[in-house]
Amino acid sequence: NPNLYNGTMGFPGASTYQTFAGLQSARTGIIWVGANDGMLHAFNADTGQEVFAFVPKTAIANGLASYATPTYAHKYFVDGDIAVADVYDTGTSSWRTILVGTLGRGGPGVFALDVTTPTAAGITLLWDKNATDIPGGALGKNIGKPVIAQTASGVWQVLIGNGPESTPDT
C-alpha cells in the first residue's frame, strides 16, 4: 500500500501525493519473494496465486540453466533484500511505486521494477544492472537492504552498499 505522506513538504509532486495514494490504496496486495530458482515472484496477497515472475540477467549469467540438470548443485540466485517505495517521476510528472531488489549471495546484481500496477501486464522493468554495468566493478554481492530515497537535491536515488566480493575487495 502507498506510504502515508501528508504532502506538506515543498518538493516536486508533494501536492499530488495524497491523490496518488488514494487511488492506489485499493490496488491488489502483492507479496514479493526472491528465490533461489533465479526469480523474483509476485503473489496475490488474497489468493496466493502467482501473478508475475522476473529473472534478473545476473541469474541467467550465473548458471541458472544448470537447474535443468537432475544432479545440479545448489546455488544462490535471487536471495537479496527487496525495497518498495513511492517516487515522483519529474519526467512524466507522476507518482510511481518502485521495487528494487538485489541478488544477495546470488551475485553482483540489482534491478528495479515499476510495480504501480501490480499485474503481469502492468509491471515493467526499469533497469537491471550487474558488476559489468558499474564503473570499476564496484558492485559486489549486495547483502544489505536497498534504500529508495529522495536526496536533498530532490532527485530520487537508490542507495546500496557495494557488497562483498566487489573489485575494491580484491
Task: Indicate the pTM of the whole model.
Answer: 0.85
DSSP state of 93: T
Q: What is the pLDDT of residue 143?
A: 81
The span from the CA of 155 to the CA of 139, in Å, is 22
Segments of the chain scoring below 50 in pLDDT: 1, 4, 7, 170
Question: Quick one: the chain helix, strand, coil %, rounded to 5?
Answer: 20, 30, 50
Instruction: Identify the H or E element spanning 24.
Output: helix 17-24
Phi/psi of residue 127, each to 5°? -165, 160
Q: What is the pLDDT of residue 103?
A: 86
Cell digits of residue 134: 558499474
